[in-house]
Amino acid sequence: MSIRIALSKGRIFDETAPLLKAAGIIASEDPETSRKLIIGTGRTGVSIIIVRASDVPTYVQYGAADLGIAGKDVLLEHGGGGLYQPLDLGIAKCRMMVAVQNGFDYEGAVRRGARLRVATKYLKTAREHFAAKGVHVDLIKLYGSMELAPLVGLADAIVDLVSSGNTLRANNLQAVEEIMPISARLIVNQAALKLKRQAIQPMLDAFAGAVAKGGT
């Protein structure tokens, strides 16, 4: 029985490696240096595919991968259809925030009922957040470097992930509202879980054990 795991390079792969190891899975190559998109592991029948962070749920939804690891930010935008989400891994933690340029009176604008221009990669999350607050927004879809938008007059505010806060500080921005805490989740294809339970369940148990031991 073969099992394919979808991961993204960078922080997700780095922070997942110890959890994979706890499940007896060690990548044969480092995705940062290898150009391979399908990487073998020390375990027969288990391979890792390297995809963009925001594509992980898609590969798992369609069964091209049996399991994957994706941030809650990515899962909210994807919608989660066809996915079983058994475990919060407590890794790649950050916060989804609203941020504005220093000096911009966000509270005042909200109180006045002003219409705000908000730039973000997270349209769904942003739309739901401002709708729940009753704030009128024009959302502008970006694919990255959201921090630039308020500085050049593209938007009044951004919705983005913040971890250390260094990127906001370096760009004269400040967080004005937390939308939600974010961490990475294990996702499993629903059909694969039924058909390959014998192979997948022990992995889920090993991940859960490693997460509990990690004290997250």
Which residues in this chain contact ligand PRT in the complex, by CB under 6 A? 8, 10-12, 52-54, 71, 73-74, 92, 94, 144, 160-167, 182, 184
Residue 156's nearest CA partner among 172, 137, 171, 142 is: 137
Q: Is the dihedral of CA 9, 13, 15, 17 positive or negative?
A: negative
Q: Toward ligand PRT, which CB reaches closer, 33 or 164?
A: 164
> How many other C-beta atoms lie within 10 A of the C-beta of residue 197?
11
Question: Residue 149 or residue 204: which is nearer to ligand PRT going by CB?
Answer: 149
CB 185 within 8 A of CB 93: no
Contact present, 100 and 157 (Cβ < 8 Å): yes
CB nearer to ligand PRT: give 6 or 162: 162
Least distance between ligand PRT and beta carbon 208 (Å): 20
The least distance separating ligand PRT from the CB of residue 73, rounded to whole angstroms, comes to 5
Closest separation between CB of residue 56 and ligand PRT, Å?
A: 9
Q: Which residue is nearest to ligand PRT (CB)?
A: 71
Helix (H) or strand (E) holding 21: helix 11-22
Closer Cβ to ligand PRT, 2 or 145, answer by number: 145
Cross-strand partners of 69 = 186
CB of 120 to ligand PRT, least distance (A): 10
In the bound state with ligand PRT, the residue whose beta carbon lies nearer, of 23 and 149, is: 149
- Minimum gap (Å) between residue 7 Cβ and ligand PRT: 10
42 contact partners, CB below 8 Å, separation of at least 6: 24, 25, 26, 28
